[in-house]
Amino acid sequence: MYLERVALRHIQMPLLAPFETSGWVETERSCIIVAVFGGGLIGWGECVAMDGPWYSYETTETAWHILRDFLVPMVLGQDIQHAEDLSAQFERVRGHPMAKAGLEIAIWDWLAKASGVSLAQALGGVRDRVDVGVSVGIQPSLANLVERVERYLIEGYRRIKIKIKPGWDVAAVQALRRAFPELRLQVDANSAYTLAHVPIFQALDEYNLLLVEQPLGADDLFDHAQLQQQLRTPICLDESIHTPDDARVALSLGSCRVINIKPGRVGGLAASRRIHDLCAAQNIPVWCGGMLETGIGRAANVALASLPNFRLPGDISASARYYAEEVIDPPFVLNPDSTLTVPRGPGIGVHVDERQLDRFTLRRMACPA
């Protein structure tokens, strides 16, 4: 397939409510939407870099630069047959996995459409529905937290993840366990702790959590291995896993018993699938994390989560969890069994509403071959 043109859009969408983690608060979601054109088809991808370097060093500004000046010129005017080949091609650019993933996912979508198969089929997915949960940010009070979680349970979510930070951890879990003793519950620290906080995690060990996500440094593997040895609860790594090699080393060290796969964090769908396969071979479950994606990125995540070793509910959630208005039609909705339906149409399988995209677009650029 000859890639004729690439278009970039920097969009900003208001969130329904502020989303607070241990390190930052988001009230709007900024990202870059990537569209690739060729053979009368359009492929869509989403670069999940944020405006600030809080989760990652990448931002919308750095990703725009890397896409415009380096990655897009590598593929424009090229005959592309397999999206898997892009990882090797993009290795000339060090780092910048979110920028790479945005373009790579768009090409996966484009090639899947050309072949007349869904993205899930192209990746090797086996499920028609994927289990999902909901992520709850840090709340003003414990009462607010319990009320917010109850609301999501009424909506139909069966797994809850809460953000924690020093001073907002054991008491928050205690409050939820008192209110919902059987709740499938996990916590996410976003690297807010050190080994000096081991007693906190030993206290959390008593509350039957599914996992503790990324408690220590964002680039650490060694200290996580020390912490995991002292806990019954599985540690799940997120920020520490940038590549399939990171996953291999983490499993060798015993740094975790679960891995959260985010395509943007690891450079795209091909790398995500390699991490999935590596973990499957060692009987390590994986799940699909979220970056407050629009429906475009959400569709790609749902397709990825249909692979067989995604054995824990993902942070994918329905569109209405975050947005009053979507850029796809129809939006993703939660099924009664706390799942999202995997789109079966060609590519990502959702219709992108370009009029809605226009409303949220801050800037755009077209790159002809």
Catalytic (active-site) positions: 163, 262
Alpha carbons within 13 angstroms on the beta-carbon side of residue 93 total: 24
Q: Quick one: tokens of 105?
A: 């996912």
Straight-line distance from the first to the last Cα atom of the chain, in angstroms, rounded to the nearest whole number:
13
Beta strands in the chain (DSSP E): 5-20, 25-38, 41-47, 129-131, 134-136, 159-163, 184-188, 212-213, 235-237, 258-261, 286-288, 328-329, 339-341, 351-352, 361-368
Q: Using an 8 Å Cβ cutoff, are 323 and 290 in contact?
A: no
- Alpha-carbon gap, residue 217 to 236, rounded angstroms: 13
Question: How do strand 134-136 and strand 159-163 relate by DSSP bridges?
Answer: parallel
Helices 97-115 and 295-304 meet at what angle, rounded to 10?
80
Residue 234 Cα distances to 230, 231, 294, angstroms: 10, 7, 30
Query: What is the distance between the alpha carbons of residues 338 and 261, in angstroms, rounded to a whole number?
Result: 20
Residue the block writes with tokens 């692979």: 307
100 in Cβ contact with 75 (< 8 Å): no
What is the rounded CA–CA span in Å between residue 56 and residue 248?
21
Show the CA angle centred on residue 105, arms to residues 247 and 53, nearest 5°: 65
Contact 62, 30 (CB under 8 A): no
CA torsion sign for 200, 203, 205, 208 is: negative
Six token digits for residue 1? 């397939």
Q: Is the peptide bond before 368 cis (omega within 30 degrees of 0)?
A: no
